[in-house]
Amino acid sequence: MSVVGSYLKKHSEALVKDVGIEAACELTGKSKATLGRYYSAHDEHGDRFMPIDAVAALEEAASYPHVTAALAELKGITLSHDERRRNASESGGVNSDVIALSQRFAVLMAEYSQSIADGIITMNEARRLLRETLALQQVLVDMKLHLEEEAS
């Protein structure tokens, strides 16, 4: 089996274990044996991979998009995992995005001001700044999507 195939199978296994085998069977409509074949390292299953619809269903329920992240890594792409799990989609559009952008930027600047007050940004302060920067980036992505939706 190729290195890429082995890598994908390892991440497919992590995805199934993250969700749980019983839940994975229910979500995908596949048996335990079939799911096991998708990540089996045995030569007879070397060419069997999990279908993309099964991956999507499992990643929706998982704590992390294991297979998607693995595919991105193989192409040299970096993903930013958005841990927000909203109960309902926001329908505020661009106006809400501008308000959220302003609020996030204010929080980032407050964090920065607090972090740099003593002239040194510690590791924990850097992590908080990074977390706020990523939240700001997500607001910009949401805004971009809303703008594209309104333009079409």
Question: For residue 71, what are its two tokens?
Answer: 């595919």
**Mean of the per-residue pLDDT values of the chain:** 86
DSSP 8-state assignment for residue 144: H
pLDDT, residue 20, reads 93
Residue of 111, 135, 134 lying closest to 124 (CA atoms): 111
Question: For residue 131, what are its two tokens?
Answer: 């977390």
> What is d(CA 125, CA 38) in angstroms, rounded to the nearest whole number?
42
Judged by average pLDDT, the poorest of 10-19, 22-31, 73-82, 93-102 is 73-82
* 67, pLDDT greater than 50: yes
Question: For residue 45, what are its two tokens?
Answer: 């299953």
Alpha-helical segments (H) within the chain: 3-19, 21-28, 32-39, 52-61, 66-74, 93-116, 123-151
> What is d(CA 15, CA 59) in angstroms, rounded to the nearest whole number?
7
pTM of the full structure: 0.57
> What is d(CA 16, CA 103) in angstroms, rounded to the nearest whole number?
38
